Amino acid sequence: MDAKSLLDGLMGHITSAAGSATAKGGLADKAKSAWDNQSPLGKGAIAGGLLGLLLTGNAKKLMKTGVKVGGAALIGGLAYKAYEDWKSGKAAAPSTEGPVALPEPTNTRFLPAEPAAANDLALHLVQAMVSAAKADGHVTAEESSKIRSQLAQLGLGIEAEQMISKELEAPLDAGRIAALARTEEEAAELYAASLLVIDPDGPAEKGYLALLAARLNLPAGLVDHLHAKVAQLS
């Protein structure tokens, strides 16, 4: 399964959709260009309702990052920046200097260059995003059934269809998502991906994020930095 293309397609269209509604000038053009360059696999996923599942309040924030659109690069850059600031002892507060500039941490644990490792990470990030999107209970059985019925028409491949269907049907379980992390860096990325598709102020979402952070064994300071970086995207 080409999980990286699926993730990039989802994130690319999220930023493109947000840009068409809210951005001005070159940044909107940049998002449109990024979406136009997405693979058919990534674009196909959008038509199946996955975009609607993940657009839960933070999509407009993604448009203001100023980085090249790409799911793994965006999430990896966000987690990398938060991780480095936490390690260096900086205060976990959004900067007053404007939107955060996210790096592309190529050839690090945040953005591995080896294709198999990159694809595995992308798969786990998609799983984390779908799980987090269900945290507030708005994904009903009827909505899940509708998405699943459309998957076969998207050309994603049987493995992608099975993964998404399984994630939609699975009970909400932060521990299961946390078990996907192999390193502290990946744990930070799974949390960041979840945070991007969730309303962190909702009671149910707060509970899910707190449980996810605990299961991931993330230090409280690192969690604070991740929240600060996402807040700075707005």
- d(C-alpha 201, C-alpha 220), whole Å: 17
220 exposed, middle or buried (CB, 10 Å; 0-12, 13-18, 19+)?
exposed
- pTM to 2 decimals? 0.78
User: What local confidence, expressed as pLDDT, does residue 182 receive?
Assistant: 92
Give the range among 29-38, 173-182, 198-207 with minimum mean pLDDT: 29-38
- d(C-alpha 211, C-alpha 220), whole Å: 12
Query: Is the pLDDT score of 180 beyond 90?
Result: yes
User: What local confidence, expressed as pLDDT, does residue 46 receive?
Assistant: 46
Q: What's the mean pLDDT in 222-234?
A: 86
Alpha helices (H) along the chain: 3-22, 26-36, 40-45, 51-54, 59-62, 71-87, 115-133, 141-151, 158-169, 174-178, 184-196, 203-215, 220-232
Q: What's the mean pLDDT in 120-137?
A: 87
Higher pLDDT, 109 or 233: 109
Q: What's the mean pLDDT in 113-136?
A: 87
Domain tally, the chain:
1
User: Which structural domain, as residue segments, surrounds residue 170?
Assistant: 3-232
Query: Is the pLDDT score of 48 beyond 90?
Result: no
- Residue keyed to tokens 């100023």: 66
Q: What's the mean pLDDT in 110-121?
A: 88
63, 96, 97, 133, 197 from 172: Cα distances, Å: 28, 36, 37, 10, 15
Across the chain, mean pLDDT equals 74
